[in-house]
Amino acid sequence: MLLRWTHLRWIDVASLLVAAAFIAPALAQQAAPDAAAPATTPAKKLPKPKPAAAAKPAAGAPAAAAAPPVAGGAKPTLLSQYGEWGAYTAAPGGKKVCFAIAKPSSSETVPSDRPRNPPYMFISTRPAEKVSNEVSIVIGYPFKPNSEATAEVGTTSFALSTQQDGAWVKNATEEAHMVEAMRAGQNAIVKGMSAKGTRSTDTFSLRGLSQALDRVDQECK
């Protein structure tokens, strides 16, 4: 139980760090066309656009992006970008953490076009907790209760425990093996099921991961 609580606590903190480091800049660049439409249509009734946007699934991310101070007032600092992976450092609650993070290169849901928040995979090192290279995934929807997800790297499949919208390697003894496989691999494919029965498949490119992890290790020795 303690292990699961620790994972959940870190998932909550990491979600805020992700929002501050990754989601807000991405939305500023990618969601600008979508944001423009609501701004022009209801221009004659300015008090209503914000509530309308908050009701849409896509609007959940900007709300989270505005909340980095909840994570101990520590905004993540980008150390460097390596291929698809960014290496970051932050100090939520005054405790230094370092992490490599990426979003999927492709995502699919069955049924298709089901709404979800942006999924991310991150690998964190937290010296104060004596944690190194812990793999975590924020999937973008609540997992089906008591379900498992999987992460496939090459020909090897790793079982993932799930809780709320977070997932992590079920067997802690396999985590180092998974990280080494990811360092040498091309893609990691994460599959899961939402509480509403939607199946998702997210493919994460591993280009640049090895360099990002080396930078993380160097920063959080």
> Residue 17: its pLDDT value, please?
64
**Position with higher pLDDT, 124 vs 31:** 124
**Position with higher pLDDT, 9 vs 84:** 84
12: pLDDT confidence band, cut at 50, 70 and 90? low
- Residue 28: helix, strand or coil by DSSP? helix
Domains, the chain, in order of start with CATH, read 2-219 (2.60.40.1880)
Other CB atoms within 10 A of residue 106 CB: 11
- Residue 148: helix, strand or coil by DSSP? strand
Select the highest-mean-pLDDT range: 3-17, 87-101, 153-167: 153-167
Q: What are phi and psi of 199, to 5 degrees?
A: -95, 135
How do beta strands 77-82 and 148-153 pair? unpaired
Q: Which residues contact 183 (CB under 8 A, 6 or more apart)?
A: 206, 209, 210, 213
| Contact present, 160 and 153 (Cβ < 8 Å) | no
